[in-house]
Structure 1
Amino acid sequence: MQRSARKGRARFAGTRGQALVPALLFLLVGGIGLYVAFGSFQMTGAKMKLQNTADAAAYSAAVLQARDYNFAAYTNRAMVANQVTAAQVVALKSWIDELDATYAGNPDTEDLIQTAAAHPSLWTTPNRRGRLDIAPVRNALDALLPTVAQGIGSITRALSDAQTGYHMALITAIPETADAVARRNQSDTHVTSGYFTSERNAVQLIAWQSYTTIVTPAGKLDNDHLADVVTDAQTLDGFVKRRVSSRSVAPDYQQLDDQASATCRPAGRITINVTHVGGTQLRTDKKGWQSIDASTAHVITPCTGAVDTIAGHGGSTNGNTRGYMTNPPFVSWSDWKGYGGYYNFGDHTSPTPGLLIPDAMAQQFTLGPGPSLDSNNGGLLPYEDIAGTPTAEDAPRITIEVEREADTLNNTPGLHGAARMQVDNGSARGVMRALASAQAYFVRPAEDPFGASTSGALLHASEWLRADGKREYPSVFSPFWQVRLAPVTDSERAAAREAQMPHDTPAASRR
């Protein structure tokens, strides 16, 4: 029994260590697999980070694109507001000049009253008193209005110049900004040198740069977007568009009801009432605003019957006053037209420009608009606008290509491998690249059928709704430009792969 036990123990001792060999083989295979997996995970992680960096760079570039359009919208709106103010200043100057001239009296009208009225002082005394009453107001306006007009014009010029400068600066800043964002995300990553202006990106770059343009409206007779907005009926107030009133104010200003003089036969009474009309128009060449105010004395006497005479008139303008008449000194019917459907400076006795104009208004027009309140910056100044009439909400895409040297992908020393054990990083010519596109897009929320205002992921979208509920198309007069990533096209990816291939590689081997 003892000998048998010793033999059993000997056989058992001879089998020790036999499991070590497969275990070592398993560990070797597992180690190789872990090494390969670790390297692959590093490559995959690096590619994902590189794509995220490209997305961030493209998105940042599109943010600048949207800022350009929103800045243009804010400055365009400010210029519209300034043009309205300029029109109001011109209107106020014309109105106060006409009021003063009416109280001063027109020689022909004054001579008629002196001849036909038994008591001319009933007319002249209140007029002298009225002129004295308005003298401080006119003096203050005469001193203030040119300064205001020139100040508004200078601000508008500054807005116009800032808009143009900002637009041009962003074209230069976008590649630099995209590169800075890429480096901040990954210090060893940068935008591919020269990509933004390369032939691969030429079509897209031209599309983006030509999406908006700087428009110079002054001196042109065609339609203009800024002029359309400025002269819209909801933009201009009633005082600017059409000033119609009665100058006859109780108890005795600009009105008369008196016994006719002995020289006016047959015996009877003389009555006078004065009406006023005026308006301010943007000239069709858009070089400035022009305003005319005129008052007409409606006189009824026994000796003359009903006659209309000139009571007073005034005018004002800004901008370049040369060429305010088409063929001076002759007045053409087209000279009575303003931009946006306005005509005859508020007098709508006739629907035809230049027809049935009051004598006082015609006389003022013949005399000219008078000195310009702002000859340097009057009229519509250059502004940024979308070229054409866009119907799609998307602006042109901006595509960015970023790259990273392949030897920086593996950050673990000793795990680069060699020969057949080396893990391929999948880069072309030692560089890993990624493409990303982004774009600005215009969004103005609309009311949906269920009554809830929705528009993408906008917060408080209901506060952005148009009052009229209509759809608003893209423009640089509304600051509703947002940013989103956009898909990279197959042609861009193919061009990127083609650019990474060695130039001496045969075409067949590139497929």
Structure 2
Amino acid sequence: MRPKRLHSQQGQVLILGLLLASAAALVFVRYFDTGMVVAEKARQDHALDAAAYSGALVQARALNMLSYIHRAQAAHQVAMAHLVTLGSWAHFAGTEALRASMGNPPAYVIGMHFGPEHAAAYLAALKASGLEHRASEHGILASAYAEHDRLSRSVLASAGRQVAHGWGAARNQAMREVLAANYPGETRFDLSITHDGSVGFLAAHQGNPGFIPFLRQLAGLYQFLEPRNYTDRSLFPVSARCPSRRHELRRRGSTILSGDGLWQSMDTQSYHAVRSNKWIGCYYREYPMGWGWIPPAESALMNEDYVENPPEDFSNQDFWRWVSGATNWDLLGDRSNPLANSWAYSARRPWRGGGLPVFHDLASSDRQRTAHFTVVLKRTGRNGLSLTSRAAAETYFRRRHLRADGRRELPSVFHPYWQARLREPEHIQTR
């Protein structure tokens, strides 16, 4: 009987083993599925981080592109300042050639009172005869000026506007392309942007008062655009009634950027001879030697003393009588060349220009702001499981090298020092 009972219990361990093997297989499958989900989630997180960084990098490139556009616009403005200065110099040289050929004033008088170098310079102007036509509103200099104005205000401004208005769409497209490269075959991604700090990050400006001082400072780097003011006095007295007075040679010139963002340049030179009479005593009789003014418009006003429609000569009237009756000039003033200014006004050569171009800068006064954003990606993963990833990135301003003066550079869209980096995602509240 006993051997029979033992035989009836054989195989029970096999059943228990099969149960244990099935449980182990189920645990292994569950563990494998969990591992695959974790791996897929990690892959999705890494892909979204790469996409977010790429988006911030696109933003940085857009801001740096705007910086280069603004620098190019400033360079065109400086070129326009040089051209308008060349224009007034050309007109000045042509009119001085005319006065030298007329001998009014004579070159020997200039040499006698102010030295041979001034007489030589005066006579050298004869070689510039006819040069004033180069400064006409249809001349080669004015045409070059108009082309710089077009490039600055039309071509570059249009490019800047497209960059400023399209950088958000370009950023989003770049992130989708990165995700498409990580998930070949998938064409639709549930991608959303939250806490988008790039919205309202930039603002367009035209005629901004902050841009004008920048251009004036930039123009100050060029000696050619500096004020051209020089006064020389005769070495000996010329009138017993005016022993302290001397004949003067006054050279005046300046290149100006007006408050409206328009360039103009003016150059004059006059010989001021000491005269006297019993009616008004001592005074200066002005003999214009050269003049040229390139205003920004026909109706522009001059910042110097002048009158409209001055006499072309004073052969039929006394200079001092005309000044006393038609102007408020100080006949003993030693500051400007009012008669040369008046002739420059009558012969003005306006060049057409539209003023400062449109440019973009940070909209906020908070210069520590960054163009940050948070991006959320939702996908259906393994076994229909919904996977959500979140990443954040920002575009920030930092010089790669310290300034030579050791000072900190504030963020702006005039320096191409914008960079990209990842950051901690913004906290999103859920209900």
TM-score in terms of structure 2 length: 0.75
1:185 equivalent to 2:189? Answer: no
Question: Quick one: which of 445, 469, 486 aligns to 2:406?
Answer: 469
1:424-471 Cα deviation digits (max 9, x unpaired)? 93x3xxxx3222221110011xxxxxxxxxxxxxxxx4xx33222210
1:83 equivalent to 2:42? Answer: no
The residue type paired with residue 190 of structure 2 is T
1:208 equivalent to 2:198? Answer: yes
Say whether the 8 Å CA contact 2:220–2:226 is kept in structure 1: no
- Closer/same/farther in 2, CA of residues 127 and 436 from structure 1, 3 Å limit: closer
Counterpart CA distance in 1 for 2:93 and 2:404 is: 39
Counterpart CA distance in 2 for 1:214 and 1:138 is: 39
| CA shift for structure 1 position 483 | 0.5
- Closer/same/farther in 2, CA of residues 256 and 390 from structure 1, 3 Å limit: same
1:154-184 Cα deviation digits (max 9, x unpaired)? 2213111111022223233333332222222
Aligned position for 2:318: none
| CA shift for structure 1 position 361 | 6.3
- Closer/same/farther in 2, CA of residues 109 and 395 from structure 1, 3 Å limit: farther
Aligned position for 1:152: 148
Aligned position for 2:271: 297
Aligned position for 1:309: 286
The residue type paired with residue 226 of structure 2 is K
Counterpart CA distance in 2 for 1:174 and 1:149 is: 37
Counterpart CA distance in 1 for 2:347 and 2:132 is: 21
Question: Quick one: which of 392, 397, 403 aligns to 2:378?
Answer: 403
The residue type paired with residue 265 of structure 2 is S
Moved more, 478-487 or 94-103: 94-103
Aligned position for 2:260: 285
Pairing of 1:66-105 with structure 2 (within 5 A): 66-105=60-99
Aligned position for 1:41: 35
Counterpart CA distance in 1 for 2:94 and 2:249 is: 14
Say whether the 8 Å CA contact 2:90–2:134 is kept in structure 1: no
- Closer/same/farther in 2, CA of residues 282 and 140 from structure 1, 3 Å limit: closer
Counterpart CA distance in 1 for 2:347 and 2:178 is: 59
Counterpart CA distance in 2 for 1:20 and 1:242 is: 107
1:434 equivalent to 2:419? Answer: no
| CA shift for structure 1 position 132 | 2.7
Say whether the 8 Å CA contact 1:241–1:281 is kept in structure 2: no
Aligned position for 1:170: 167
1:480 equivalent to 2:417? Answer: yes
1:93-126 Cα deviation digits (max 9, x unpaired)? 11232233234339999389999x99xxx99x97
1:239 equivalent to 2:224? Answer: yes
Aligned position for 1:458: none
Moved more, 88-97 or 137-146: 137-146
Counterpart CA distance in 1 for 2:25 and 2:285 is: 111
Counterpart CA distance in 2 for 1:62 and 1:126 is: 64
Say whether the 8 Å CA contact 2:246–2:274 is kept in structure 1: yes
Question: Quick one: which of 336, 342, 348 aligns to 1:363?
Answer: 342
- Closer/same/farther in 2, CA of residues 302 and 322 from structure 1, 3 Å limit: closer
1:7-61 Cα deviation digits (max 9, x unpaired)? 99x9999997665445433322221111111111111112112222222222222
TM-score in terms of structure 1 length: 0.64
Aligned position for 2:48: 54
The residue type paired with residue 210 of structure 1 is G
Say whether the 8 Å CA contact 1:106–1:310 is kept in structure 2: no
Question: What SS does structure 2 have at the residue aligned with 1:275?
Answer: strand
- Closer/same/farther in 2, CA of residues 296 and 137 from structure 1, 3 Å limit: closer
1:135 equivalent to 2:135? Answer: no
Say whether the 8 Å CA contact 1:244–1:278 is kept in structure 2: yes
Q: Across the two proteins, how many residue pairs are aligned to each other?
A: 391
| CA shift for structure 1 position 72 | 0.8
Say whether the 8 Å CA contact 1:57–1:400 is kept in structure 2: no
Counterpart CA distance in 2 for 1:368 and 1:209 is: 51
Pairing of 1:242-261 with structure 2 (within 5 A): 242-245=227-230
The residue type paired with residue 370 of structure 1 is R
5+ residue gaps, structure 2, are: 309-333
5+ residue gaps, structure 1, are: 1-6, 218-222, 249-254, 332-354, 411-415, 417-423, 445-460, 499-511
Question: What SS does structure 1 have at the residue aligned with 2:129?
Answer: helix
- Closer/same/farther in 2, CA of residues 57 and 127 from structure 1, 3 Å limit: closer
| CA shift for structure 1 position 480 | 0.5
Counterpart CA distance in 2 for 1:259 and 1:484 is: 75
Aligned position for 1:251: none
The residue type paired with residue 413 of structure 2 is V
Pairing of 1:256-275 with structure 2 (within 5 A): 274-275=249-250
- Closer/same/farther in 2, CA of residues 357 and 434 from structure 1, 3 Å limit: same
Aligned position for 2:313: none
Say whether the 8 Å CA contact 1:70–1:479 is kept in structure 2: yes
| CA shift for structure 1 position 81 | 1.1
- Closer/same/farther in 2, CA of residues 113 and 53 from structure 1, 3 Å limit: closer
- Closer/same/farther in 2, CA of residues 439 and 190 from structure 1, 3 Å limit: farther
Aligned position for 2:323: none
Question: What SS does structure 1 have at the residue aligned with 2:104?
Answer: helix
Question: Quick one: which of 9, 28, 48 aligns to 2:22?
Answer: 28
Counterpart CA distance in 2 for 1:131 and 1:112 is: 13
